[in-house]
DNA sequence: TATAATAAAGTAAGCGTTTGCAAAACTAGC
DNA sequence: GCTAGTTTTGCAAACGCTTACTTTATTATA
């Protein structure tokens, strides 16, 4: 069976018009007489013509494709963000090219370049952190980019986040009322958001409570890390802990449970992600709610504006957060 | 700043060779004198040339891009599969275009067609189920496709799965030894895999135990559905339940816990997904282990072969499953 | 009815590569 | 040094579409 693909040229011939006209009706650009439009449309339907996105991309220099960059495909945090992005991208008919940097951690730049070479119209960048190098690359390339759930040190890229510093400060203040040994468990101390926001939020709270011991503990990534860090918490006699990651928090919760340590009576646990895992935990996990889905959606919406060169008033969006007290805090 | 993009033509000119030669060194195709190769490569590096994937795609009719189709971006089951796919696709340098059908549930066909028009070299299709229509479309199009974690009724598309019927049968047999009221909780009774495999596996076990009550219950999707279906289980006095989805199982677990019903003493709960959620649950969730990551990886590996037209011995791969007894079963 | 506008349609030049075929440049054999 | 056989290169035609520019058809105006 010879199934040569049907091109715009075939349609043009059959409809007895030029390919330019067909292109116009397909894209709804330019003026076409109603009668012609109808005829062409009918023929398109009959022949089952579907425009070739690649050719279109080459010719128009627009691919209606956005790149989404994330470190890990199998992670509730990024998944919820991605969902927001995905839904909005559908609304605007953008396709998504996914790039995860999971395996290749150092060559994020290559991954990005690969995105560039695919001629994506825009990029949503998500990660635990963004290096200055990557940030510069993105900035220089001049391709519309928005960061979701990450901050870049220089604040030159559009982004959407919550106020991490304030959120951390609030929790710490609350903990400090009842406890004198409090920990902030982060996955990596050196990420921008931890270094410049969360730790500072904690430090600020510390100023108000000179008798209280505040500590930053590094746990690493994922559920097992939570399980593992528990002993350190106990050794240091921590009474209340704020983690940046739900999985880690659940690890701590379960480690406590497995050792018959009562949460929240003996240890308060609060997380800072509020993915849907929080509800599945027992006791249900209290958390700062980052509106992840919304962050993704807002980021994507902003990106569409950027791509269309529409003016964007505020390029550093801070979405409101809440503190959700469930059963893992008093 | 005028940043005209650097094309192969620019490189050719600077290197004083034809673009054909540059193309050859970039792609490593054809014969190029070593000296020339080196020179060109150096210039490519100096100029910072990066090939344009879109043009390449148009010219070669190969995009080194695969489409991955899934119903939901934020779902542990598909995420683990996707991770396997992603890792392998990296190994073979394929890019990924993601298409979720979440919003647009009826027009899966349109979503696929959009994938076609992007000229993807291959497709990995994941879903709860696949309609005959979609299946036919995929088949007719002739583009290499493999199903991961789904079976199509006609068995015409390559796929990778586990033996759902056997797995279900095994669990049911085990349950039937100790209980006389057993449920299979599915998300949708009418999907191929439930109708043709799981229910049949159960039915087969039922034949061996005429005094035991077996029941299929429809719960719907997600954690809340699990919470919700619990009362029905209790009303029917179910003593052991197998669910197809971890979230649903955790819902049941937590509902039981919230009502002080002891698992596994009063109710045994087994799931059939074994995502990483299973470990986070308390009690830890017993599960049929579908090797999701592996399934994704194998599917992708098979797809690469298909795309290269390498022979593939077995196009209906059945991966081994295990039954993992944790704390939610006796 | 002739003429200026305006709407509709067509022409053809890209977009940045790949690749079959032809030409040119070597190599080796004699 | 010439010829046949190989390597290396270059040429130019796709790939399928968009779009600036032109030409032609249609209307409205006087």
Rounded distance between C-alpha atoms, residue B263 and residue B253, angstroms: 7
In chain A, positions 149-208, which contact chain B (CB-CB < 8 Å)? none
pLDDT surpassing 50 at residue B2: no
Token pair recorded at residue A249:
């928090």
Local confidence band at A3 (pLDDT 50, 70, 90 cut-offs): low
Cα B73 vs. chain centroid, distance in angstroms? 11
Q: What is the mean pLDDT of residues B97-102?
A: 88
Q: What is the mean pLDDT of residues A74-98?
A: 94
Asked if B223 lies within 8 A of A276 by C-beta distance, the reply is yes
What are the tens digits of pLDDT across the range A181-235?
Answer: 999 999 998 899 999 999 999 999 999 999 999 999 999 999 999 999 999 999 9
Spacing of A12 CA from C6 C1' in Å: 25
Consecutive H or E run containing A67: strand A65-70
Local confidence band at B3 (pLDDT 50, 70, 90 cut-offs): low
pLDDT surpassing 90 at residue B212: yes
In chain B, positions 211-250, which contact chain A (CB-CB < 8 Å)? 223, 247, 250
Alpha carbon distances (Å) from A27 to A58, A148, A286? 15, 32, 50
Q: Which of A8, A89, A116, A118 to mutate to test the interface with B (most CBs of B within 10 A)?
A: A118
**In this predicted structure, what is the pLDDT of residue A5?**
86
**In this predicted structure, what is the pLDDT of residue A1?**
41
Least confident among A107-111, A179-183, B206-210? A107-111
Q: Are A148 and A122 in contact (CB under 8 A)?
A: no
Q: Which of A4, A224, A280, A294 to mutate to test the interface with B (most CBs of B within 10 A)?
A: A280
Nucleotide nearest the Cα atom of A31 (by C1'): C8
Dump the DSSP string for A49-105. Answer: ----HHHHHHHHS--SEEEEEES-SS-HHHHHHHHHHHHHHHHTT-EEEEEE-SS-S
Asked if B3 lies within 8 A of A142 by C-beta distance, the reply is yes
Q: Which positions in strand C are less than 7 Å from the protein's CB atoms?
A: 7-12, 14-20
pLDDT surpassing 50 at residue A24: yes
Token pair recorded at residue A154:
């220089």
Asked if A52 lies within 8 A of B90 by C-beta distance, the reply is no
Local confidence band at A105 (pLDDT 50, 70, 90 cut-offs): low
Asked if B118 lies within 8 A of A54 by C-beta distance, the reply is yes
Cα A77 vs. chain centroid, distance in angstroms? 8
Q: Are A150 and A126 in contact (CB under 8 A)?
A: yes
How do the residues of chain B divide into helix, strand and coil, expressed in percent and rounded to 5? 45, 15, 35
Q: What is the mean pLDDT of residues B305-327?
A: 94
What are the tens digits of pLDDT across the range A296-314?
Answer: 999 999 999 999 999 999 9
Q: What is the mean pLDDT of chain B?
A: 93
Rounded distance between C-alpha atoms, residue B234 and residue A56, angstroms: 58
Q: What region, left, alpha or beta, does residue A220 occupy, with left being phi > 0 and alpha being psi -120 to 50 degrees?
A: left
Under 8 Å CB pairs connecting chains A and B tally to 125
Phi, psi of B285 (to 5 degrees): -85, 125
Q: Which of A217, A218, A328, A228 is nearest to A281 (CA)?
A: A328
Compute the C-alpha angle B142/B129/B132, nearest 5°: 50
In chain A, positions 253-312, which contact chain B (CB-CB < 8 Å)? 254, 257, 276-277, 279-282
Asked if B65 lies within 8 A of A95 by C-beta distance, the reply is no
Rounded distance between C-alpha atoms, residue A62 and residue A309, angstroms: 13
Q: Is A301 helix (H, G, I), strand (E, B) or coil?
A: helix
């Amino acid at each position: 069976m010879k199934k040569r693909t049907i091109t715009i040229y075939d349609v043009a011939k059959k409809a007895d018009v030029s390919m330019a006209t067909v292109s116009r009706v397909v894209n709804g650009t330019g003026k076409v007489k109603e009668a012609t439009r109808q005829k062409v449309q009918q023929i398109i339907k009959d022949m089952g013509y579907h425009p070739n996105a690649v050719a279109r991309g080459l010719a128009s220099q627009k691919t209606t494709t956005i790149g989404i960059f994330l470190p890990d495909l199998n992670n509730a945090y990024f998944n919820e963000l991605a969902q927001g992005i995905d839904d909005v991208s559908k609304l605007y008919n953008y396709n998504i090219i996914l790039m995860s940097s999971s395996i290749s951690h150092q060559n994020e730049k290559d991954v990005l370049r690969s995105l560039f070479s695919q001629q994506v119209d825009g990029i949503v960048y998500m990660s635990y952190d963004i290096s200055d190098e990557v940030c510069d690359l993105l900035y220089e390339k001049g391709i519309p980019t928005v960061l979701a759930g990450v901050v870049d040190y220089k604040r030159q890229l559009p982004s959407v986040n919550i106020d991490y510093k304030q959120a951390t400060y609030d929790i710490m203040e609350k903990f400090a009322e009842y406890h004198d040994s409090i920990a902030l468990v982060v996955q990596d101390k050196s990420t921008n958001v931890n270094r410049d926001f969360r730790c500072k939020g904690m430090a600020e709270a510390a100023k108000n409570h000179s008798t209280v011991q505040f500590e930053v503990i590094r746990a690493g990534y994922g559920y097992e890390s939570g399980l593992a860090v528990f002993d350190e918490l106990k050794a240091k006699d921590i009474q209340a802990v704020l983690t940046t990651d739900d999985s880690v928090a659940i690890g701590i919760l379960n480690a406590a449970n497995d050792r018959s340590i009562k949460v929240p009576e003996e240890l308060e646990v609060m997380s800072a992600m509020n993915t849907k895992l929080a509800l599945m935990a027992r006791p249900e996990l209290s958390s700062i709610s980052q509106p992840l889905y919304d962050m993704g959606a807002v980021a994507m919406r902003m990106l569409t504006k950027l791509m269309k060169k529409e003016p964007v008033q505020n390029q550093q969006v801070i979405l409101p957060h809440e503190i959700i007290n469930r059963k893992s805090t008093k």
